[in-house]
Amino acid sequence: MEQQDGKPHVTAVRKNGDGDIVELQLSSGQVVGYKEAQQMAKSDQIANVNVFKGRDGDEHLRSDPDGLEDNNLDNLPTF
């Protein structure tokens, strides 16, 4: 479902053998790589996600905090 502001949101993820998210599927049907999704989040093109700098010094993508576990990126369905 599209967000009210018209921006797509993440509906599913693809993980590598280590369990790291490598691609994201958007509600628009578009599939984007992790780095592309980070850039899209930074430019406010994807709803409900943000980029933060982790303790490892790298930037990471995460869902906006809302108190729900089922919409965390790691908990989304895979495709």
Task: Look at residue 71 in the predicted model and tell me its pLDDT.
Answer: 87
CB 34, CB 61: distance < 8 Å: yes
Q: How far apart (Å, rounded) are the C-alpha atoms in residues 52 and 78?
A: 23
At position 26, the amino acid (one-letter code) is: L
CB 26, CB 34: distance < 8 Å: no
Token pair of 29 as six digits: 């049907």
Helix %, strand %, coil % for the chain, to 5?
Answer: 15, 35, 50
pLDDT at 4 over 60: no
Average pLDDT of the segment spanning 75-79: 96
Task: Look at residue 5 in the predicted model and tell me its pLDDT.
Answer: 79
Q: pLDDT tens for residues 18-74?
A: 999 999 999 999 999 999 999 999 999 999 999 999 999 999 999 999 898 988 999
Q: Is the pTM of this model over 0.85?
A: yes
